[in-house]
Structure 1
Amino acid sequence: MISAQFLLTALVVVIAPGTGVIYTLAMGLGQGRRAALWAALGCTFGIVPHLVAATLGLAAVLHTSALLFNIVKFAGVAYLLYLAWQALRSGGALSVSAETRAQPGAAVARRGALINILNPKLSVFFLALLPPFLSGNPTTATMEMSLLGAVFMAMTFGVFVLYGLFAASARDLLLGSATVMHWLNRGFAAIFVALAGRLALERA
């Protein structure tokens, strides 16, 4: 069940830069290690609803209901555009600046969780990713899905923490120049806009 093939597949998926990674990097650069850890935690817990949906079969309902899928999808698009604005706005929650603006850890984690919660493709993704690694015994399928999901979440948190700590360690090197900070904020905003556009084009 928890095979080398599953671990390798999960690692490749987790390492691939996505919205959660970009958010964690932005928080690490903008506010340092503590914020990066909270961001990684929030993004990880944002996976839970999708894993539960995949385990209970609700992901199939989401996949077949165009209306429900689009409601969640466009809420996610709107939220990503909001994060882009927060990166551009002076003093915004995602704005990178030389001054560390300590934000409550719960707020940082909540934003990270919402990024994943409002991505309907994750439920469908887990519905496709996990079943091939099950033993085939229907009586233990739920337990096995839960265990595989827990391993995936642990890997997600570990990798995101490394991304965040890397960004935090690079903070002092990158934030000495106003020009660098200006383009970092523009870059993060552009990435969130691009991710919002990609999500808007997704189909159930």
Structure 2
Amino acid sequence: MSTEFLLTSLIVVLIPGTGVIYTISMGIFAGRKESFFAAMGCTLGIIPHLLASIFGLAAILHTSAVAFQIVKIIGVCYLFYLAYMMYKETGSLQIKGKQKQKGLYKIVLRGFLINILNPKLSIFFLAFLPQFISSSSTTIVSEMLLMSFVFMIMTFVVFVIYGFFAHKSSTFIQDSPKIMQKIQKGFAGIFVLLGMKLAISER
């Protein structure tokens, strides 16, 4: 595995995207554990895209305008739904009591759906991973699986760090409900913008 792959992957993971925004929002409004599970859900959401890229299924999204548009529209609707859910909150998103465990499953599921409903990811990995495979390699699938595993570990670790620092910063604003509400609505606006960006994206 090349140093170029590791450095490029790290840069890609560090760039704030939908998953990062979701994880940070959980860190600020819910807690450290919730941001951890958000990072887990977002990481799990890239597995289907990685597998699709490795085994060539991403070509379907690349060549079929209908398939791409269907996945994209569902993804856009889901981002708008998350924006609406965050905007209508009137207080902290902290999960309490008996609903705690159920809430953690929901956080993982939301993170998973955020990434799995982004068709651009499959095409990205289809173009990204082969660049670091040697032309003389006889174990292409094995190498791509290994790189995918490393990419996932990087994603999870970086997202957890983002969530941890977001939770730390929440201590400065958690005593002010008005500030919390403004930040929540700000994140809702970000999800709307991300949904619009996905809506106008092309293959």
TM-score normalised over the length of structure 2 = 0.94
Once the two structures are overlaid, the 10-residue window that deviates more, 148-157 or 163-172, is 163-172
Question: 1:136 and 1:32 mapped to 2: Cα distance?
Answer: 46
Decide whether aligned partners of structure 1 residues 155 and 26 sit closer, same or farther in structure 2, where only a CA change above 3 A counts: same
Q: Is the 8 A contact 1:84 1:192 kept in 2?
A: yes
Question: 1:99 and 1:144 mapped to 2: Cα distance?
Answer: 41
Matched, 1:53 2:52: yes
SS in 2 for 1:104: helix
Deviations 1:80-129 (A, max 9, x none): 000001111126xxxx6185544532111110000000000000000111
Amino acid at match of 2:198: L
Counterpart residue number, 2:144: 145
Amino acid at match of 2:140: A
Counterpart residue number, 1:97: 92
Counterpart residue number, 2:79: 80
Question: 2:67 and 2:60 mapped to 1: Cα distance?
Answer: 9
Counterpart residue number, 1:154: 153
Provide the aligned length of Structure 1 versus Structure 2.
199
Could you tell me which runs of 5 or more consecutive residues in structure 2 were left unpaired when the two chains were aligned: none
Question: 1:17 and 1:90 mapped to 2: Cα distance?
Answer: 24
Question: 1:133 and 1:142 mapped to 2: Cα distance?
Answer: 12
Give the RMSD, CA atoms, in angstroms.
1.4
1:4-19 equivalent positions in 2, closer than 5 A? 4-19=3-18
Once the two structures are overlaid, the 10-residue window that deviates more, 24-33 or 176-185, is 176-185
Counterpart residue number, 2:25: 26
Question: 1:99 and 1:121 mapped to 2: Cα distance?
Answer: 32
Shift of 1:186: 1.2
